[in-house]
Chains A and B, each alone.
Chain A
Amino acid sequence: MAQPQADTAVELPHHPSPRAAGCPFDPPPALRSLPSDQPLSRVRIWDGSSPWLVTRYEQLRRLLGDPRVSADATLPGYPHRTPATKASDETRRTFLTMDDPDHARLRRMVTAPFAVRKMEALRPAVQRIVDDLIDAMLAGPKPVDLVQEFALPVPSLVICELLGVPYADHDFFQRNTKVVVDRTSTPEQVLDCLGTLTDYLEELLSEKAARPADDLLSVLATEPVATGEMTRRRAAETGVLLLGAGHETTANMIALGTLALLLNPDQLALLRDAENPGTAAGAVEELLRYLTIAHSGRRRVALEDIELDGQTIRAGEGLIFANDIANRDPEAFAGDADRLDLTRDSRRHVAFGFGVHQCLGQPLARVELQVVYGTLYSRIPTLALATDVDRLEFKHQGLVYGVHELPVTW
């Protein structure tokens, strides 16, 4: 088979592509309908280059687990998302854009607090946070914007708990994080609040060094900072990084997941009426699969020529991994993969990515989402959308998909 050339005049589908009008959940039709007889297709991106798009589940897992496929964003051919991410990826290097062994060494410094057992220990605190927010919502006026009143505060308060921010400071903390994630904030406001939060965490770190407790800041203060492996400022910045990473993702899963359930009442009923506590856990995996909010694709570049089912990826060519499309691959998921089916076994989804860069916060995300999905709808069984679906604004641009506002009533 002839290889499609990067510089031929053929019209290549654009990445990203628009979703179908009227359907907020399905991946872009132009990318889904790429020829299925070949494992890879070329797409055109913003800088005019034409990296490969990987849409099939099996090939995606094979390539993301292949050491010849690099996450190094400084290599030529790496398919950057936007001019802005190109600039920041090339200057601010974190383990996200490194290969092993550097990646493994740096990542391991921050994985420990997210171990499954530690996250399970946090479950009662998450439950308390969720219950308190629901109490406040029920006591107030309606309709409310679920994003502002519930979806954003949950991860914000949970990360306070995890970091060990004193309860008295929750308000301050939440106020600042709200500005950071609010789309109407100016860049100056965001930087200002990030600076305020970093200053605050830095001070808290010195208190924790003197009186360590059972929380993440105490671990940072008494280990890497105490041994000089990390400066206190660096540790405070790490705290702010965790804050940002865990925020947008979880908040969008809560709001967009709720919308998906409201539009699929039979599925919502399964959750609301569930007696088995495992139901929420299965539902979380299916919603992660179905929504795949990290919808802009994982980015990589080939280090060597790679043969894949009759096609050749040349060294230096870029690769975009469409997790959202792979999570709808009919060969990977039983039944109609385009249906939201909470009874499906979805545990093999790739919503957290795949390979060594797989999301490190996923045990925390799971606990938060399980508590939310397992509580919100049974406590507010009459929860309903307070607007037309057509009037909702979705986050088409950006790294994480979601809904800007979700007016609800009950």
Chain B
Amino acid sequence: MRVEVDQPRCVASGQCVLLAPEVFDQDDDGIVELLESDPEPRHHDDVRESAAVCPAAAIRLTER
């Protein structure tokens, strides 16, 4: 799985950080930061959930 984030779209809702803190963080302005673009399989479900709930559609996944 490959994860990308689109920071200009992020509205800092923090949903991704709550669901997958190993993969996403927020910078000082609350904007998403990607910690891991190639997350371990055990985090995949949480990352998919993050992409699904992100209200700004700022998380893009490529499954491979």
Contact = CB atoms under 8 A, between A and B. Distances in A.
B55 A366 contact: no
A358 interface: yes
A332 B28 CA distance: 34
B1 interface: no
Nearest to A349: B53
B37 interface: no
B19 interface: yes
B49 A355 contact: no
Contact of B55 (A104, A114, A347, A358): A358
Number of contact residues on A: which range applies?
20 to 34
B30 A111 contact: yes
Number of contact residues on B: which range applies?
20 to 34
A360 B53 contact: no
A318 interface: no
A65 B57 contact: yes
A115 interface: yes
A112 B13 contact: no
Contact of B11 (A347, A356, A363): A356
Q: Which of A104, A116, A354 has the most CB of B within 10 A?
A: A116
Given A347-B19, A366-B18, A115 B12 contact: yes
B23 to A, nearest CB: 13
A287 B29 CA distance: 29
A358 B12 CA distance: 9
B11 A107 contact: yes
Contacts, number: 67
A331 to B, nearest CB: 15
Contact of B56 (A108, A352, A355, A359): A355
Nearest to A350: B55
Nearest to B13: A358
A356 B56 contact: yes
A126 B60 CA distance: 35
A348 B53 contact: yes
A111 B19 contact: no
B29 A112 contact: yes
A353 interface: yes
B52 interface: yes
A112 B2 CA distance: 27
A111 B17 CA distance: 15
Given A362-B13, A363-B14, A116 B26 contact: yes
A117 interface: yes
A116 B18 contact: yes
Contact of A360 (B13, B28, B49): B13
A358 B8 CA distance: 16
B56 to A, nearest CB: 5
A115 B30 CA distance: 5
B27 to A, nearest CB: 8
Interface in A325-372: 347-348, 352-360, 362-363, 366
Contacts of B9: 356
Contacts of A360: 11-13
Task: Report the 7 A-B pairs with minimum CB-CB distance, sorted nearest first.
Answer: A358-B55, A111-B12, A116-B14, A111-B30, A115-B30, A115-B26, A116-B17
9 contacts: A65-B56, A65-B57, A114-B30, A115-B14, A115-B26, A347-B19, A352-B13, A353-B55, A356-B55
